[in-house]
Structure 1
Amino acid sequence: MTTPSSEQDGLVRVLARGDVLALAFGAMIGWGWIVLTGTAIQSAGSLGAIIAFIIGGLAIVLVGLTYAELAAAMPKVGGEHVYSYRALGHLPSFSAPGRSF
């Protein structure tokens, strides 16, 4: 089966400038733990830094499990906005995704 020539012209632009900006900002924040690991080891010592990373990892696992449960219960596009809309209503859900930063 062949596809029409219009579909073979190239890649389709689907990310807007804001999407790319959000991805870049998330990447910068995400790399913070790698850049600041040396500072954490200097101030807390190697054992303290290991314990801090374990505690932080456990907290992230709990957050991830919570989001997995919410995504399974409400399989709609929208993430935090959909979850807070169902729980709190229209007005509080408008600012919920922004408060997660």
Structure 2
Amino acid sequence: MEGLIEEGKEIMQEDGAPAVVDAALIAAAQRVEHYEMAGYGCVRTFANLLGYEGAAALLQETLDEEGGADKKLTELAETVINVGAEDGGEEEGEEAAPSNGRAEPKTGRKK
């Protein structure tokens, strides 16, 4: 989990186009959600197996909430963020990335 959080912090420090950074942040947030969902799902199953129905029900509620958060992140990504990131996050006056998704090679030296 610490690695996932650190990854998110690193993404926030990136200098990329805002839409591209936002898309990366959503992906990082979803990795955290999935990690949490795996944990809650396992513990809920153990609670059921051990006969702790009340605890299992509470864990299921939490699992459902985490799933809802993941769904909202997916909807946000699909309807807003990834649409902006798809074109390289270009802003007015910026050039779009080549259609193959790769940066053009730079020629010459920096002065």
TM-score band, normalised by shorter chain:
0.3 to 0.5
TM-score, structure 2 length as denominator? Answer: 0.33
TM-score, structure 1 length as denominator? Answer: 0.35
Q: Which structure has the higher relative contact order (CA within 8 Å, separation 6+)?
A: 2
